[in-house]
Structure 1
Amino acid sequence: MKINPGLLLVAVVVVWSTNPIQAQNDMPVAVTLTTRLGDITGFRDNRNARIFYNIPYGKSPTGSRKFAKPEPFGKWTEQRNAMTPSPMCPQPKSEINEALGFKMEEDCLKLDIYTPVNIHVERKLPVMVWIHGGGYVAGGAVTYDGSALAKTGNVVVVTINYRLGLGGFLSFGDSIVKGNFGIWDQILALRWVKDNIVDYGGDPNEVAIFGESAGGMSVSLLSLIPFNRGLFKRAIMQSGVANSLFAFQYGPPELHRATGKLLGCPYQEVDPRTSLECMRQLNISTILNVTTAKAVESSSARLMFGPVLDGELFKRPIMEIFADDRSEELEFFRSLDVMVGTTDSDGSFLLRLGATFQSEYGYNISNEGLPHQVFCDVIIPSLSADYYNGNREVSNALCKTYGRANDQAENSRQAVKMLGDIFFLSPAVKTLTVHASNNTRAKSYQYVFSEWRLPFSFDANVLPPWFEGAGHATELIYLFFLESLKLVRPNITITATDYELATKMRTQWTNFGKYGNPNGLDPVREHWPSFESNGRRFLQLSKNNMTVGENYRGEHVNFVLNTVPNILRSTSSAAFFIKNHSPSLTVVLVVFIQKMSTGFCS
């Protein structure tokens, strides 16, 4: 079993946030507030943070509320104990989750709040709401500790749960089960923040939302829903945007009906209401066991879950919205300040993807890397089948652009770059370009995180020798977890420059949350310029030096955004996004992202 540090620590260091009381020798100091919803007791720890865990924003999504829009929780009648972290929403079992003692409950529409200790009644603080990643099928608020951000930026940090997998995204494609319940959960949580965060010292009129991977995609999607106006003013999208290939599903109803059949609730033979009621009667463990087992057994993308066109939240495909300058969705999006970024090796899921074929083709990706033949004859055609209608010309162009026949290590690195370019970087640049074009109302910012030498003495033992760059989710270590590393790895050497990078990034993130500008209000030595559609300036985040650049990987972004679609059009391919993916790459990708959310990559 290999552990990738950029993924492992997202989970392992949450020992700190799972039970910070035990992680500290000092006893916590209880903090009781009287709020409009009732009295609540959280605690103050020695990190200069006040923490309120497990606050319900929605009623338990069980019974008639299962596979339905969430309902506000309302008031509680007795003093609420907010010293125990919120449970995660139901999701496939994970060794890491079990080892760390994470709880899963259907009654999971909860959020956690972190504030500085020095809250003043007269001066409310800006609020930053974190939406976790995990491929829409895994993750939870409990895995992110907002204390460091709250303390560094003098902001209120809120981390939220939302329903996942079938529970969050079942869709029959009709008025009976429209889907997108997980997105509705996120919206209800934001409305709770708008109505109640003032009781915890937050300013309801100064809210920013941020998230990574599926969380970044969620942030991006929320920014395209006009009736969210007033719930937030700014948005940070980390390694995930709404136009990412796997952020949105355009044809899942028949797949979800098939899921109902697997669960013993046929759809076609009966009224859909009957099928829905049948599924509501099923134990969540049964649903998880059947859907997870089927996905693993068949390696089929047909059991994947995510946002869909529902005629209510999302009325047309994202790229149609982007192409319509007069759309109300785009008008709302361009009224928000946005920050969008990626890591320079976001395509690190190649490590898992490549491992699925190594027995058959006789190589070891953890040592020598990915052979050119496997890359061009297996990986690329799989990707083309999933997303480009199996177009051979696209496959040939991808191989020619990224393949390195005479250097297996470099071939492997280029494979990582290709996946990052297609799934993360190019969609991010497209999102930024659409936002920035002729926009005089709001600012756009781009970053590339490239700090790949993490503060571990065991890098060489867990990453292939050929691997370079910062893998998917690596920046989260510096935003959330750096101080916690020694709790789980006492021998780790964390340098002054590591702490300096963490402080800089936390300051930039919270500055953006407060002002819509990562530089803050005062001049800074390492100025982060805004992104403009013509120059495409960005800031490269690194320990050794933060540098400004232009048009990051511009030729490759142009290849993905323009050359590939032109090939598809010229060869009469039906669509860039296809309705029924072939199984191979999609399943590996989502399994990877699901594992990433809890930090485990085997």
Structure 2
Amino acid sequence: MLIQGAFHLLWFSVAVAVVTAENTVIVDTSFGKLQGVETTARNGHKFLSFTGIPYAKPPVGALRFAKPEPHPPIDGVFDATKPAEFCPHPTALLYIDDMPAGQEDCLVLNVYVKQLEHGPQGSAPASATRKSTTTTTATRKSGTGPIGDKKKVVVWVHGGGFMAGGATDYPAGTFVATQDVILVGINYRIGILGFLSTENEASVGNYGMWDQVMALKWVKDNIAAFGGDPDDITIAGESAGGASVGFLSIVPSTSGLFTKVYPMSGTGTSVFATAVDAQDHAVDVAKSTGCLDKELTLDRKLTLEESEKMMSCLRDVPVEEFQKLAPFSIDRAQFVPRVDGDFLPLHPSKLLQDDNYLDSIGFFDRTYLFSVTNSEKAVMQGAVDATEAGINGQEGVSGADKTAQIGKLYNNTHRFYLGSRLNIASPPGDLVDKAVSWYSRRLTENQLSTLVSDLTFIIPTYDYLNALARSKTTDAYFLYFNHYPGYMQGKHRGIVHAADLLYWFDIELEKWEKLLHVGIDGEFDEEDLNLQMMFTDLVGQFMKTGNPWHGLQEVLPGGWPSFDLRGNHYLDFGPKPVVRRHLEKDKKDFWLTTVPEWASSYKSGVPKSFY
């Protein structure tokens, strides 16, 4: 918020916030003047909302399937009072009737803040409720926030399997109003437009990840204008957002952009989050959209010339054609981040083993909080059930053929998840059988969804915790959201995947049920409301101090130790939080010790690495 004026000094500038008669407020940033609006959170508290702020040029034309370019500074006043557009979703995934299909010009972010401070000694805030236009000023040092305490900042990366979702799905009014922090929600390209890759220079991929990096840079450069501390930023995300945050914490391009990291229900080693055979999936899209002959059969990789010709065609395809495709199956990962040697130098599992590399990018210099929920597998079971229903719903197909298709699906899914976990393209069949047998002996049902869930959530979380525990100076905290709310009225109980977000954001339960289809029916009771206050205090204190226990001192007087290799401490978080040790120890030992030992017993060269 640097502007030249009568109070200009060598090391100081004037910060100006203008509150208008329509309860709007204008913030002057180095990017330009942004007009936001005062609104009311679900708990009745007032806060300021700035939405739809473009941080990158529209990724259309030549910028489709290309790294983002910074949006130029804005002339005049930008209207940041309108809801942010979604990035294009596959239309088959639009479960909610009023969810827009999205548009390509979607690289925007939202900023939510309780109020803007002003005054020479951090005096009264600029109130957006005033009924006459008012100009207030605050003197500050160049590159810092307003005089007084700078607000802590969290950048929120939405989930949705890298193919759905958007920043607007996560209203944060209650959180920012009660914690007096700033939350920035970001959009990034998803699905085909965000991650299609030819595995060569024609389309490297990872565009959605580069979008996230650019958004972080925008926040670093401009958040001081809102009163935020650009030198103490937390990044957080859930599911695909958690995986994104995990990636951002282990790549060189984000060095210096944040100080704290909070991945929820996913990390950079989650199996669904790393693409395999990306060029094959790009070819499928090209065939579906007329950019390659549908009858073309390839037993080799495309040449660079062939790839460039294909990409030239794909840049002219109407976005609606991409949206007709539904790039999801439980037995593969496509149109998600990939190891490209640029954004992601090596597979995350390898990067996490290299302490010299991790030290060089500042991995150990940050503070971490990780969380999973007690019913993560419900979302995986839903995907399995939906896939089986689709197979069984085929007309003109015999029951035996349907059974065979389901059996093949299970086998392919087991092979894909085990192979991806072990970083081998074709895991030996008997190795797959041994892993499946281990689950079958412990479970009478839902073996597939449990195995898939474990390799998506709990085991990847341990990958990061174990790497961080090798440092004697890095704090990493582990939270297990273990609550059984009364509003869960279907066959699933507990906190299903993404239900923990109901305790952070002002998300309507009815909307979440339309999205998750898990039997949510009812409202928060007093226990849920108390749990919500504890959770937002916990997250807020993590942002402010780096220690989430500071938000729980009254209910957890004994403290919350950070994770280490000996203690394996975690917080069993529910109405009565308690510190425990060794969450899912049997699965942790199986995947981190037993299975790698089995794999190493095979002769060299049998499992062929695809990285």
Q: TM-score range with shorter-chain normalisation? A: 0.7 to 0.9
1:420 aligns with 2:418: no
Please report how far the alpha carbon of residue 278 of structure 1 lies from its aligned counterpart in structure 2 after TM superposition: 1.5
Structure 1 residues 377-400: Cα deviation after superposition (integer angstroms, max 9, x where no partner): 777534322233464434444444
Corresponding residue for residue 439 of structure 2 = 402
Contact 1:345-1:472 within 8 A present in 2 as well: yes
**Where in structure 2 are the equivalents of 1:554-593 lying within 5 Å?**
554-572=585-603
SS of 1:356's equivalent?
helix
**Where in structure 2 are the equivalents of 1:347-362 lying within 5 Å?**
347-348=377-378, 349-357=380-388
Partner letter of residue 433 of structure 1?
N
Contact 2:339-2:345 within 8 A present in 1 as well: yes
Contact 1:322-1:330 within 8 A present in 2 as well: no
Q: 1:417 to 1:541 in 2, by over 3 A?
A: farther
Partner letter of residue 205 of structure 1?
D
Corresponding residue for residue 32 of structure 1 = 26
Corresponding residue for residue 49 of structure 2 = 51
Q: 1:397 to 1:196 in 2, by over 3 A?
A: same
Task: Please give the alpha-carbon distance, in whole angstroms, between the structure 2 residues aligned to 1:190 and 1:377.
Answer: 44
Q: 1:413 to 1:387 in 2, by over 3 A?
A: closer
Corresponding residue for residue 376 of structure 2 = 346
Task: Please give the alpha-carbon distance, in whole angstroms, between the structure 2 residues aligned to 1:240 and 1:155.
Answer: 24
Structure 1 residues 278-322: Cα deviation after superposition (integer angstroms, max 9, x where no partner): 211111111222x33xx57xx696782111122211121112212
Corresponding residue for residue 244 of structure 1 = 270
Structure 1 residues 62-111: Cα deviation after superposition (integer angstroms, max 9, x where no partner): 11111111111122223221111100101112575662243511100000
Equivalent position to 1:502, from 514, 518, 532: 532
Q: 1:235 to 1:576 in 2, by over 3 A?
A: farther
Equivalent position to 1:184, from 175, 195, 210: 210
Contact 1:444-1:531 within 8 A present in 2 as well: yes
Task: Please give the alpha-carbon distance, in whole angstroms, between the structure 2 residues aligned to 1:239 and 1:260.
Answer: 33
Corresponding residue for residue 65 of structure 1 = 63
SS of 1:53's equivalent?
strand
Q: 1:576 to 1:195 in 2, by over 3 A?
A: farther
Corresponding residue for residue 138 of structure 2 = none
Structure 1 residues 18-75: Cα deviation after superposition (integer angstroms, max 9, x where no partner): xxxxxxxxx9722222333222221112332110111000010011111111111122
Please report how far the alpha carbon of residue 578 of structure 1 lies from its aligned counterpart in structure 2 after TM superposition: 7.0
Contact 1:88-1:102 within 8 A present in 2 as well: yes
1:137 aligns with 2:170: no
Please report how far the alpha carbon of residue 143 of structure 1 lies from its aligned counterpart in structure 2 after TM superposition: 0.3
Partner letter of residue 517 of structure 1?
N
Q: 1:392 to 1:175 in 2, by over 3 A?
A: closer
Please report how far the alpha carbon of residue 493 of structure 1 lies from its aligned counterpart in structure 2 after TM superposition: 4.3
Contact 1:334-1:439 within 8 A present in 2 as well: no
Q: 1:475 to 1:577 in 2, by over 3 A?
A: farther
Task: Please give the alpha-carbon distance, in whole angstroms, between the structure 2 residues aligned to 1:265 and 1:90.
Answer: 20
Please report how far the alpha carbon of residue 403 of structure 1 lies from its aligned counterpart in structure 2 after TM superposition: 2.9
Task: Please give the alpha-carbon distance, in whole angstroms, between the structure 2 residues aligned to 1:575 and 1:331.
Answer: 34
Higher relative contact order (CA 8 A, sep 6+): 1
Task: Please give the alpha-carbon distance, in whole angstroms, between the structure 1 residues aligned to 2:606 and 2:37.
Answer: 53
Q: 1:494 to 1:540 in 2, by over 3 A?
A: same
Please report how far the alpha carbon of residue 214 of structure 1 lies from its aligned counterpart in structure 2 after TM superposition: 0.6
Corresponding residue for residue 589 of structure 1 = none
Contact 1:57-1:109 within 8 A present in 2 as well: yes
Please report how far the alpha carbon of residue 415 of structure 1 lies from its aligned counterpart in structure 2 after TM superposition: 5.6
Task: Please give the alpha-carbon distance, in whole angstroms, between the structure 2 residues aligned to 1:49 and 1:574.
Answer: 59
Between 51-60 and 247-256, report the one with greater CA deviation: 247-256
Equivalent position to 1:518, from 548, 564, 586: 548
Task: Please give the alpha-carbon distance, in whole angstroms, between the structure 2 residues aligned to 1:575 and 1:541.
Answer: 44
Corresponding residue for residue 157 of structure 1 = 183
1:393 aligns with 2:458: no
Contact 1:250-1:309 within 8 A present in 2 as well: no
Contact 1:565-1:576 within 8 A present in 2 as well: no
SS of 1:412's equivalent?
coil
SS of 2:59's equivalent?
coil
Please report how far the alpha carbon of residue 418 of structure 1 lies from its aligned counterpart in structure 2 after TM superposition: 3.4
Corresponding residue for residue 472 of structure 2 = 439
Q: 1:34 to 1:576 in 2, by over 3 A?
A: farther
Equivalent position to 1:304, from 313, 328, 334: 334
Equivalent position to 1:478, from 481, 484, 503: 503
Contact 2:251-2:345 within 8 A present in 1 as well: no
Please report how far the alpha carbon of residue 477 of structure 1 lies from its aligned counterpart in structure 2 after TM superposition: 0.8
Q: 1:81 to 1:105 in 2, by over 3 A?
A: same
Q: 1:193 to 1:277 in 2, by over 3 A?
A: same
Between 203-212 and 31-40, report the one with greater CA deviation: 31-40
Bigger helix fraction:
1
SS of 1:508's equivalent?
helix
Contact 1:56-1:109 within 8 A present in 2 as well: yes
Please report how far the alpha carbon of residue 158 of structure 1 lies from its aligned counterpart in structure 2 after TM superposition: 0.3
Corresponding residue for residue 451 of structure 1 = 483
SS of 1:89's equivalent?
coil
Identity of aligned residues (%): 29
Partner letter of residue 212 of structure 2?
Q
Q: 1:539 to 1:37 in 2, by over 3 A?
A: same
TM-score (norm: length of structure 1): 0.80
Q: 1:269 to 1:392 in 2, by over 3 A?
A: closer
Gaps of at least 5 residues in structure 1 are 1-26, 363-372, 581-602
Contact 2:540-2:551 within 8 A present in 1 as well: no
Task: Please give the alpha-carbon distance, in whole angstroms, between the structure 2 residues aligned to 1:302 and 1:280.
Answer: 25
Q: 1:358 to 1:139 in 2, by over 3 A?
A: closer
Corresponding residue for residue 469 of structure 1 = 494
Partner letter of residue 288 of structure 2?
L
Please report how far the alpha carbon of residue 223 of structure 1 lies from its aligned counterpart in structure 2 after TM superposition: 0.5
How many residues are matched?
525
Please report how far the alpha carbon of residue 118 of structure 1 lies from its aligned counterpart in structure 2 after TM superposition: 5.6
SS of 2:365's equivalent?
coil
User: Is the radius of gyration larger for structure 1 or structure 2?
Assistant: 2
Partner letter of residue 73 of structure 2?
K
SS of 1:99's equivalent?
coil
Equivalent position to 1:226, from 240, 246, 252: 252
Gaps of at least 5 residues in structure 2 are 1-20, 119-145, 293-301, 394-402, 419-425, 514-519
SS of 2:272's equivalent?
coil
Task: Please give the alpha-carbon distance, in whole angstroms, between the structure 1 residues aligned to 2:365 and 2:171.
Answer: 30
Contact 1:539-1:548 within 8 A present in 2 as well: yes
Corresponding residue for residue 325 of structure 1 = 355
Between 210-219 and 72-81, report the one with greater CA deviation: 72-81
Between 471-480 and 310-319, report the one with greater CA deviation: 310-319
Task: Please give the alpha-carbon distance, in whole angstroms, between the structure 1 residues aligned to 2:232 and 2:103.
Answer: 31
